[in-house]
Amino acid sequence: MKTKTIKDLKFETLLPKELIKKRVNEIALQLDALHIGSEPPLMICVMNGAFIFTADLVRAMQVKVLLGFIRASSYRGTTSSGNLELSGIEKLNIEGKNIVIVEDIIDTGATLEAIIEQLQKRNPLQLHIVSLLQKPHAPKFENTIVGFEIDDRFVVGYGLDYDGLGRDIDEIMVMK
């Protein structure tokens, strides 16, 4: 078990990289099965947090994929500011396409709800959601694959940050 200090907070290993890798491979198989024989899905990476998960996931998948990137931000420090900013959706070609939203974590679900609402308006053929992590209070979304259900504690690593730091850590660490 690793420990790390980022600014004023201490973190310890929650999900080691081998476990994440195994789960990412399982999710890739599920997504392959959902899209085999159909048009390549547009995998929409929700930046910044999902950049590593997306990179690993698309490389573990066997079907051809298209990639799109949107940006969502609401967190300041370890709490959500509730001030959601979304950008980049307008540039994507959604109508009639198979869409997969790739998120790092579903906490309150507000970010995902806003993204889904904007995408649905543009008539995708299919809409799936994949999130590496999900916290306990998150509402249930349809057609959603979750990597790991975790406790309501602040995590960093594998793309997730604490005030901009820790995204490069190769595992998921939890605040002590």
3-state secondary structure of 173: strand
8 Å CB contact between 96 and 141: no
Q: Hey, what long-range contacts does 16-23 have (CB within 8 A, 24 or more apart)?
A: 16/171, 17/158, 17/170, 17/171, 20/132, 20/147, 20/158, 20/171, 20/172, 21/56, 23/132, 23/147, 23/148
User: Looking only at residues 40 through 59 of this chain, which bind Mg ion when binding is defined by CB under 5 A?
Assistant: 49
Residues in the chain: 176
Binds ligand IMP (CB under 6 A): choice among 16, 40, 88, 109: 109
Of 56, 104, 107, 151, which residue is the catalytic one? 107
168 belongs to the catalytic site? no
Which of 56, 104 has the CB closer to Mg ion?
Answer: 104
User: Looking only at residues 111 through 130 of this chain, which bind ligand IMP when binding is defined by CB under 6 A?
Assistant: 111-112
User: Looking only at residues 102 through 131 of this chain, which bind Mg ion when binding is defined by CB under 5 A?
Assistant: 104
54 near ligand IMP, rule: CB under 6 A:
no
Which residue spans within 3-65 are E strands per DSSP?
3-6, 9-15, 42-47
Which of 98, 111 has the CB closer to ligand IMP?
Answer: 111
CB of 175 to ligand IMP, least distance (A): 8
CB of 85 to ligand IMP, least distance (A): 11
Within 10 angstroms of residue 95's Cβ, the number of other Cβ atoms is 9
* Footprint on this chain of ligand IMP (rule: CB under 6 A): 49, 74-75, 80, 103-112, 154-156, 160
- Residues designated as active site: 107
